[in-house]
Amino acid sequence: MTTTTWGWLVLLFPLIGSAVISLGFRFWGRTAGWIGTLAIALSFACAVAMLISLQSHGATHRELTSSLWNYDVSTGVDAHMAILVDPISVFMALVVSGVSTLIHLYSISYMKSDRGFARYFAYLNYFVLSMLILVLGGNFVMLIIGWAFVGAASYLLISFWYRRTTATGAGLKAFVINVVGDVGLVLGTFFLFRHTGTVGFLSNFNAIHHVFHTDSTDLVVACLLFLVGAFAKSAQVPLHTWLPDAMEGPTPVSSLIHAATMVTAGVYLIVRLHPLFEMAPTAADVGACIGCATLLIAGSIGVVVTDIKRVIAYSTMSQIGYMIMGASAGAYSAALFHLMTHAFFKALLFMAAGSIIGAMAGNQSLDRMGGFRKALPFTFICFMVGGLALSGIPPFSGWLSKDDIIGYMYHRGGGFFVLGILGEVGAFITGLYTFRMIFRAFWGEPSPEASELEHGHLAHAEVPTNPMTGEEEDTDIGFPGPEHVIAEREWPMRIAMSLLALLAVVGGLIEIPGVDSGITNFLAPAFPHSRLFAQEPSTGSAWVGLIVTPIIGLIGIAIVYRLYVARRGTSARLAERFAPLHNFLVNKWYFDELIDYAVVRPALLIGRVADSVLERIVISGGVTGGVTGVVRAGSATVRRAQTGFLRYYAAAIVLGLSALSLYFLISST
Amino acid sequence: MVFSSILFFIAAIAAISGAIGVVMLRNPFYSVLALVCHLIALAALFMLLRAEFVAAAQVVVYAGAVMVLYVFVVAYVGGGQEYQAGSALRILGPLFALAVAVELCIAMLGTGLSGVSSHGAHYVLGFGTPKQIGRLFLTDYLFAFEVASLLLLVAAVGSVVLARRRRGLEAEEAEDHDFQRRLRQPRPAFTGTMAEAAGLRIAVREIEESGPAVMEQEPALPTTSND
Amino acid sequence: MTIGWYLAVSAIIFSVGAGGVLTRRNPLVVLLCLELMLNAANLALVAFARMWGNEAGQIFALIIMVIAACEVTVGLGLIVAIYRRNLPIDVDELHELHG
């Protein structure tokens, strides 16, 4: 079997899974979950086979394409249905399908009492399919297709509990912002296509050297538009406001889409299009700056948020800021390395959060959690592993990957050095919010639900409510199911979380500076002409960073320990003293309000004006009303001749007859 | 020659005065009689034009059957009142008619048709005889013949349908209670039902009083309504 | 007399009939005037038949007589129906079919 055949099989299994579950959704029952998991597991197996097969090729022959059919004849554009199998896409496919398998397994337990069980797995399989199309696509057309499908899947899954207005509103918000990104992506493709005349990746990369020069305007514009797409998908400032709201979806969805896979699509985009970004340094600089800004902004908001899932969401935003910063600056293997480790520990954190939310009977507020250490031991261990990996504490994987990026930034020097320093600040803030969350949830006085659980009784909500607004709900279809689950009682959840915890611990060991460079060596054949890829900091300077960064992280953890554990109540006093700053952070830097005033209200105004003026007055009144009015007036005028008097009709006939014969008489003379 | 001219003038003057009589006489019965006179004069004219069968048909069919029908109807309907003729057509009507007459005369007589100033084509024996007409009807003009007979059938059926009684005699009314009850039930107005056409009076009430208009029944015989 | 004379008589009778249709208000008399017009046409046709020596005109005249008979039948049926409904026998009063 050729490598690309394995690639097509990787795409085929989620497609079959999604189709099979959708078609039989009425009678699958609980089996739908196992079908979905099996489909993705098979896809992962094929991805592994694809990896092995790829490595059997020589080092310079590891960019393989395969096309199923060609739309060239009908459209005039060389749009193939093609995949590109190279180290980048294989890497992404492995991460996506691997983490997805574990999340599917977790979901079998988590969603078990939900009445939309089969629909959920159909959507989830569809999502994995679209993400794989995105990463395996061999030309811009496939990329755009995957991009759009992923947006659709995200919308479907965020508003999965569709009877909740908060959820549907969040889904709509995510979709609209994603569409902005889609527009950027498509326009960027067009700007590129105008000059290169082709949409394939490899052919574009070959062509740009002839068509563009460094920083030529159209190329910079194209790259900026691609960045717009990347920012929308990866929730970078200013297109980030959808990600916290996207936590309305079920927790496994947040774990898969909004932590491990979809939001990393922006990073993948920049890494895939690295030749373009290397030729347009202006756009790359913009990307790095935005990435850095996001990691600081998101981190600062994460420090004050009280909903546990939103803390993790802002953490995701921040870590992706690292990846975008790194990828824009040229640290491709570092960015992908961090992507991989982040997928592991962030998915783990979300899964653990799902467990503790289950223990709280659906409530997600940190204000009401406390002292779950004894009641949820397994969940506690997972949180600690994930938290330590996230904060970059040795020997966990996050330590190596985060510092890989920061070390590269130092190495590039100039403005990037400053960004590197800011990255260290970000590491400090990461420690702050991560362990704030852990200390508040697991230390201190046990909350009522924790006490109940210590006695072996899982709390159950009398009346199901919306965790954000407190509105009452029921548990029928369109709302979460009546049962809540915790990891300690469900073996699928424990298996998935254990595997991820293991990976979060040891996953970094394949890229230790000076010891081994598993990822860099693996990815090298995909970057044959890159001048930035080969630049690596020396082992010594890398190790300096590797020592400094965890110290900064530990300082952050210590501060938070003092605030929340040693001297409780300090945080409330601090919030009072720095009230304006606290308000500013709690209101998420007022981005939502800014977008509301700048974009949403003008759009609504235009819509209203268009309706009242253009639609009602011009079109209905003027055009259709005018036409019908003219016809009516004309017919009214003509109707006046129909008086109903017989003699007048007869007179008209006689008159007509005489006039006609007069005419003929005259004309015949 | 002279004899035929004299006959022509007598018949023509009779025809024209008959026509004028139809138009000018007030009593419709007298109009009918004037028309009969006109028809017979016309038959004479046809004879002068060697159209023997047509003349005979004119007298038998037209004057004999159609006019008798007219007489019956005039007798049934009555003489009719003296109406006040009030519209502009009282003056314009004769004016238009005069215009038409002048134009027709100019058209027919002022043409270059050579035959107008002749006495007609050479007379062939058997011209206008029933034998000749019959032969033509059954060979060259067969289709017209058949269609004309169909037309007569249709007209006969149509006139029966138009003029039949809608209200039964007293005995019939007393028998069909169910039908009468259904007939007299209130119905929405202006819906074009046969009941509406059969003369049930429509009472339109104000919308404010009681919703859409509903037809009312006339319990007694219908009265003349000249509103 | 030459054919022209007959045609002149036909024209006069036709216009008298037309004037009657326009002037009279009793529908019965209107129908009678219609008969006048039809007869005038008959006369013209028979005159032309004589002019050409072709009986087609007479055939035509006979068909017109059939048609006139049918029309009278239906028209008189209408008038009887109108009379039965107690509506006025006056064409100026019967003007409901208006636009």
With a cut of 80, say whether residue A237 has pLDDT above it: yes
Non-local (6+) Cβ contacts of A280 within 8 A are A214, A215, A216, A219, A220, A222, A223
What pLDDT was estimated at residue A469? 80
**CA count, 13 A, side-chain hemisphere, A553:** 25
What gap in Å lies between CA A242 and CA A226, rounded to an integer? 19
Residues of chain A neighbouring B92 (CB-CB closer than 8 A): 651
Helix, coil or strand: residue A48 = helix
**C32 and B120 in contact by Cβ < 8 A?**
no
Chain A residues near residue C97 by CB distance under 8 angstroms: 644
Distance from CA of C19 to the nearest CA of A (A): 9
Confidence check: pLDDT of A645 > 60: yes
Is the ipTM beyond the 0.85 threshold?
Answer: yes
What's the whole-number mean pLDDT along residues A396-420?
89
Nearest CB partner across the interface for C22, out of A643, A644, A654: A654
Distance from CA of B135 to the nearest CA of A (A): 36
List of chain B residues whose C-beta atoms are within 8 Å of the C-beta of residue A660 = none
- Distance, in Å, from the CA atom of A521 to the CA atom of A135, rounded to the nearest integer, reads 20
pLDDT at position A413 is 81
Q: What is the pLDDT of residue B218?
A: 46
Alpha carbons A560 and A446: distance in angstroms, whole number: 19
pLDDT of residue A511: 82
Q: Which of B96, B107, B110 is closest, CB to CB, to A651?
A: B96
Record the tokens describing residue A107, joined without a space.
């979901």
Look at residues A499, A261, A307 and name the one whose alpha carbon lies nearest to residue A386: A499
Chain C positions touching A654 (Cβ under 8 A) are: 18, 21-22
* For residues A638-644, average pLDDT: 84
For residue A472, what pLDDT is reported?
Answer: 78
Cα-based angle C55, C61, C62 (whole degrees, multiple of 5): 95
Inter-chain touch A643–C98, beta carbons under 8 Å: yes
Type of residue found at A427: A
Token pair in block for residue A224:
């900026």
Tell me the chain C residues in contact with residue A650 when contact means C-beta distances shorter than 8 Å.
Answer: 18, 21-22
A665 touches chain C (CB under 8 A): no
Q: Which of A223, C60, C11, A41 is nearest to B107 (CA)?
A: C11
Q: Tell me which chain A residues have a C-beta less than 8 angstroms from the C-beta of C99.
A: 639-642, 644
Best A646, A653, A654, A666 residue to mutate vs chain B (most B CBs within 10 Å): A654
C-beta atoms of C99 and A639 within 8 A: yes
The two tokens of residue B156 are 């006969």
pLDDT score of A537: 79
Nearest-Cα distance to chain A for C22, in Å, is 5
CA distance C89 to chain B (A): 7
Amino acid A129: pLDDT: 95
C-beta separation of B200 from B194 below 8 A: no
Residues forming a β-bridge with A139: A200
Tokens 């574009």, residue located: A204
Tokens of A398: 């996050």
**Locus of tokens 């007509």:** A656
* Residue that has been written with the tokens 């028998």 in this structure: B175
Chain B contact present for A659, CB below 8 A: no
Contacting residues of C for A651, CB less than 8 Å apart: 22
Q: In angstroms, what is the C-alpha Rg of chain C?
A: 17
Residue A648 pLDDT: 87
Q: Please check the confidence at residue A219 and state whether its pLDDT lies above 80.
A: yes
SS3 A369: coil
Helix (H, G, I), strand (E, B) or coil at A162: coil
Q: C99 and A654 in contact by Cβ < 8 A? A: no
Contact C9 B16 (CB under 8 A): yes
Asked whether the beta carbons of residue A650 and residue C21 sit closer than 8 angstroms, the reply is yes
For chain C, the helix, strand and coil percentages under 3-state DSSP, each to the nearest 5: 75, 0, 25
Residue A143: the pLDDT is 95
Q: Do the beta carbons of residue A238 and residue A191 sit within 8 Å? A: no
A628 to each of A665, B94, C21, how far by Cα in Å? Answer: 42, 42, 39
Provide the 3-class DSSP secondary structure of residue A85: strand
Number of Cβ within a 10 Å radius of residue B23: 24
pLDDT at B206: 37
**Over the stretch A440-493, which tens digit does the pLDDT of each residue have?**
888 888 888 888 888 888 878 777 888 878 777 777 778 887 888 888 888 999
Cα angle for residues A240, A245, A250 (degrees, 5° grid): 125
- Residue A324 · residue A284 · CB < 8 Å: no
Confidence at residue B226, expressed as pLDDT on a 0 to 100 scale: 45
Q: How many angstroms separate the Cα of A180 from the Cα of each of A142, A230, A259, A576, B108?
A: 18, 10, 21, 39, 85
The amino acid that residue A315 corresponds to is: S
Mean pLDDT of the A352-361 span: 90
Which chains touch B (3+ CB pairs under 8 A)? A, C
What is residue A307's DSSP assignment?
A: B
pLDDT in tens, A109-119: 999 888 889 99
pLDDT of residue B194: 66
More confident residue, A38 or B78: A38
Alpha-carbon distance A331 to A405, whole Å? Answer: 6
The span from the CA of A535 to the CA of A543, in Å, is 16
Residue A631: left (phi > 0), alpha (psi -120 to 50), or beta?
alpha
Q: Do residue A661 and residue B103 have CB atoms under 8 angstroms apart?
A: yes
Specify the DSSP class assigned to residue A56: T
Question: What integer pLDDT is reported at residue B211 of this predicted model?
Answer: 46
Whether A645 sits inside 8 A of C92 (CB atoms) is: yes
Torsion of CA B115, B119, B123, B126, to 10 degrees: 100
CA distances from A627 to A90, A613, A621, C99 (A): 62, 18, 9, 21
- Chain C hits for A632, CB-CB cut-off 8 Å, are none
Nearest to C23 among B23, B121, B165 (CB): B23
3-state secondary structure of A395: coil
A654 contacts C18? CB cut-off 8 A: yes
Contacts of A349 (CB under 8 A, 6+ apart): A259, A312, A315, A382, A383, A386, A387, A390
For A652, which residue in chain C has the nearest alpha carbon? C22
Give backbone dihedrals phi and psi of A307, rounded to 5 degrees, phi first: -90, 125
Would you call A563 helix, strand, or coil by DSSP? helix
What local confidence, expressed as pLDDT, does residue B225 receive? 44
> Which H, E and C letters describe chain B, residue by residue?
CHHHHHHHHHHHHHHHHHHHHHHHCCCHHHHHHHHHHHHHHHHHHHHHCCCHHHHHHHHHHHHHHHHHHHHHHHHHHCCCCCCCCCCCHHHHHHHHHHHHHHHHHHHHHCCCCHHHHCCCCCCCCCCCCHHHHHHHHHCCCHHHHHHHHHHHHHHHHHHHHHHCCCCCCHHHHHHCHHHHHHHCCCCECCCCCHHHHCCCCCCCCCHHHHCCCECCCCCCCCCCCCC
* Whether pLDDT at A514 is above 80: no
One-letter amino acid of A386: G
A665–chain B Cβ distance below 8 A for any pair: yes
Ranges A409-418, A497-506, A616-625: which has the least confidence: A616-625
**Angle at which helices A539-561 and A415-442 pack, to 10 degrees?**
40
% helix / strand / coil in chain A, to the nearest 5? 75, 5, 20
> Which among C24, C87, C95 is the top mutation candidate for probing chain A, defined by the most A β-carbons within 10 Å of its own β-carbon?
C95
Query: Quick one: pLDDT at residue A286?
Result: 92
Q: Which amino acid is at A32?
A: A
B-chain residues within 8 Å CB-CB of C19? 23, 93-94, 96-98
Q: Which residues contact A55 (CB under 8 A, 6 or more apart)?
A: A62
Per-residue pLDDT, averaged over A162-166, amounts to 88
pLDDT < 50: residue spans in chain B: 201-211, 217-227
Smallest CA–CA distance, residue B174 to chain C, in Å, is 21
Whether residue A91 has pLDDT greater than 90 = yes
Which positions in chain A touch B83 (Cβ < 8 Å)?
Answer: none
Q: C28-76, pLDDT tens digit by residue?
A: 999 999 999 999 999 999 999 999 888 899 999 999 999 999 999 999 9
Instruction: Give how far A639 is from chain B: nearest CA, Å.
Output: 21
What global pTM score does this model have? 0.70
Longest dimension (CA), chain B: 83
Residues from chain B that touch C41, judged by Cβ atoms under 8 A, are none
Which is more confidently placed, A81 or B217?
A81
Residue A184 near residue A225 (C-beta atoms within 8 A)? yes
Is A654 in CB contact (< 8 Å) with chain C? yes
